[in-house]
Structure formats: C-alpha cells, structure tokens
Amino acid sequence: MITAHRASILHFLADPDLVKQGNVALEACYQYFDDGLLITENGHVKAVGDAKALLATLNRDIKVHDHTNCLIMPGFIDTHIHYPQTEMIAAYGEQLLEWLEKYTFPTEEQFEDEDYARDIAERFLDELLRAGTTTALVFGTVHKASVDAFFKACETRDLRMIAGKVMMDSNAPDNLTDTPESSYIDSKALIEKWHNKGRLRYAVTPRFSPTCSEAQLQKAGQLLSEHSDVYMHTHLSENLNEVAWVKELFPERKNYLDTYDHAGLLGKRSVFAHCIHLDDDEWQRMSDSQSNIAFCPTSNLFLGSGFFHLSRAVKQNISVGLGTDVGGGTSFSMLQTLNEAYKVLQLRGEQLSPFKGLYLATLGGAKTLDMDDLIGNFVTGKEADFIVMDKASTPLMKFRMSKCKDLFEQLFVFSMLGDDRAIKETWSAGKMVHARDK
C-alpha cells in the first residue's frame, strides 16, 4: 500500500546545537523541500524529496494527497505526560505538593475502574492526535487496570506509545498505594503482557522518591535488571519543597538523583521529568549515566516550579525532549509547549531557535526515548508518523505568515501562534488518525 503526500516538508537529521559547537553546518541538521513529496509504503517511509523529481518515479495509479500551503513534519513526541490527569488540566491555585494532594490524588482514585480508565484513555488519545503528537511517554495511575486500559486503546489505533503503572507505596492516600511486592508483581505482569507488543513499550514508573520507599525503589531496579530493554520514567527535582522533602526522607543519600541511582534506575532508557533544581553533582551524574530529561515548560510555569536550564543540559551532553506534563502542563500542543519553552529561556537570557525547538519536538524526543531508529524523521524505513501543519490555521497566522521572509521565520510563527488548529491532519503508521476539518 503506497501513498504520497505533497506539501512543503521539513525533518531533522541532527541536533542544531551541533552547529553552535562548530561540528556541522545548520543545513546538515535538516532537510527542507519547499515543494516536497513524502512517499509511504505499508506504514513506513519509502522516500522523501522534491515533488517534481519523485512524482516522475511514481506509478500513475498511486494517490497523491495534495496539501497546499501546508508543512509536513514528523509527528510530535511528548516525553512526559499523565493520561489520567486529562480531566484535571487547569486546576487552580497550588504548587506541586499541594496540587498533588488537592487535585491529582482524588482524580487518580477513579482509575481502579478499567471502563472509566478506557474512556479517559480514548479522550486523551483524541487530544494527543489533535495536537499532532504521535508518540508519548505516559504515566498511568497506581492501578494495573489503568495501564491495561491505556494500552488497549493504543493497540486499537496502532500507535507507538510507552506507558507504565505508577509505583507508589508512601505518603499518598491508602486507596492509591501499592506495596514494594505488589508493585513488582503488577509491573512485571504488565511488562510481560505489553512490552514490545506491536508498537507498545513499557516504562517502570516510580512516581517520585517522596512516594516510594527505599524497598520499592529497589524493586523498580530489580524490574529493570530483569528486563534490560524496558524504560524507567519518573520525576526529579521539580519543586524546591519537594527537593527539601527528599532530603528529609532519604538522609543517607547524597542528593535527590542519588535516591534513584542507589536503586539502579539511571541509564539510556531512563527519563526524568523536570530537573530544574539539580546541583553540579547531579548534572554530572545525569550525563555520565546517559540519562534523559523531559523539559516541561508549561507545567513548570503553571505550578510555579522554576526555569529549566537547557544550555546546561546541552553543555553536559544530556539528551532532552519536550514534555507537556498534562495535567500539570496546560496544553497538549507541542507548539504551545515550544511557545512557553521560548519564554522560559528568554528569562534566562537564552534563545531557543525554531530549528532547535522543532528538533526537540521530533528527532530530539525520539533520541530521548531511544527510538530514533524507528521515528523522529523521514529517513527511509522509519515509521510513517507525520503531521500536516496548516500555515493559515487562523486569520492572524495567515497574515503573519504572509510577512515571513524565510523558513526560520515561518517555523517561529508556527511555534508562537500555533496550537491544535495548526494541525490539519495527523498520520500514524501511514494511516490518517486525525483530520481537523472532518
């Protein structure tokens, strides 16, 4: 089954920060075809290039989708999000620890019921695809049923997703806690059932050190040692009160990161959300262990957590992806996430170029999730997950785009003015999974 899509096409081949380091020219980091063609076959990329040249090679009976005034890019990758928190996005007035108590825990109690969980999972996936996100690293709740429901919903839609059951045995309501042993047994059963089933993968998911006993963190480490290719997904150093609390709870550990390190939770498939208040030692250990960071600007601003230091991560050679962190985050849209990322970095006196921003939202996210062999750009053979972005999605965007003199400006306008309205279509494994106008 071959299909072709004609539009402007952009995808990344390398990190634009390599340019700053003098290693490559900017043009070597991306490919852009003003009049481009993306050809997919059986859910994978067959070719990408200039439309005129490629059309000449194409059998005449193959359907060409014409997306005039649109930009095709790889699907966005959200490296940190909570599906059960869909219904509590935009909850007023608190910072992290109080917000968890007041809004998050009561919401998550409902996910013991698999039917309820399935309904929210479907709504969540609708929102992700509407925003142009085709892959995400996703928190469930403490309930095994929440993850079964989520993976079933993803499997039906054939999406590439990673998720896991929350491990949480301390400092949370009784009906939201497991035990080190039960969390091990439930996580293991979920790994055996879902990890590498079709396009799905599993992440061992201790919520964060304040809600995990030492014994439970050790159990998480045991799961990772018994299943070498599963992921580890947690929160780290998001809020100053949280950091102080970890110090109290784990006096024998050197720092917050060490509570995870001591249990063997660091590595190439480990993703730590936030990482705002790291000390020098933690930055270095993140780097040495090849651990990854999810930068979640809308959440960090909404919960008043602080400003992530992107250039420090770059300097330390740590892989960073973007996360919405819904429901701490305020939008499913990676474009809106880029908008706030730009502002967070402005407050640090740093600029986030639209090339770097859109790299983070695609290939950078794929590298953070150790999936850049499968998704993140249009290299031949990769999975055909892509979005069609409309340069005229609102009257203001249309007008502003008409004044842009080059690609750089157009991409910046997308990332400042864009949201779900800019996503005209979303395609996953070569099939359309969202159409804005239908």
| Rounded CA separation 94/82 (Å) | 18
In angstroms, what is the C-alpha Rg of the chain? 21
CB of 27 to ligand GUN, least distance (A): 38
Which of the listed partners (Zn ion, ligand GUN, none) does 186 bind, with a CB threshold of 5 to 8 Å by partner kind? none
State which of residues 127, 148, 178, 325 lies at the interface with ligand GUN (CB under 6 A). 325
Q: Which residues between 176 and 235 bind ligand GUN (CB under 6 A)?
A: 207-208, 235
Interface with ligand GUN in residues 14-73 (CB under 6 A): none
Out of 325, 370, 385, 420, the residue judged to bind Zn ion by CB under 5 A: 325
- Give me the residue whose beta carbon is nearest to ligand GUN: 328
Q: Which residues of 422-431 are buried (b: 16+ CB within 10 A; e: fewer)?
A: bbbbbbbbbe
Min CB(176)–Zn ion separation in Å? 15
DSSP state of 14: S
In this chain, which of 40, 216, 298, 299 binds ligand GUN, going by CB under 6 A? Answer: 299
**Nearest distance in Å: CB 33, ligand GUN:** 38
- Spatial separation of the C-alpha atoms in residues 235 and 137, rounded to whole Å: 12
Strand (E) positions, 121-172?
A: 133-139, 161-164, 166-167
Closer by beta carbon to ligand GUN, 96 or else 120: 96
Positive or negative CA dihedral for 399, 5, 37, 30? positive
User: What does DSSP assign to residue 270?
Assistant: E
Return the percent helix, strand and coil in the chain, to nearest 5. Answer: 45, 25, 35
Q: Interaction with Zn ion in 229-288: which residues (CB under 5 A)?
A: 273
82 near ligand GUN (CB under 6 A): yes
* Displacement of CA 366 from its chain's centroid (Å): 9
Contact in structure between 12 and 362 (CB atoms under 8 Å): yes
Residue choice 75, 164, 297, 328 for contact with ligand GUN (CB under 6 A) = 328
- Interface residues for ligand GUN in 229-288 (CB under 6 A)? 235, 238
Q: CB of 234: closest distance to Zn ion in angstroms?
A: 9
In angstroms, rounded to a whole number, what is the distance separating the alpha carbons of residues 382 and 164?
25
Nearer to Zn ion, 273 or 401 (CB): 273
Q: Which residues contact ligand GUN by CB under 6 A?
A: 82, 96, 100, 104, 207-208, 235, 238, 299, 325, 328
Q: Which residues contact Zn ion by CB under 5 A?
A: 273, 325
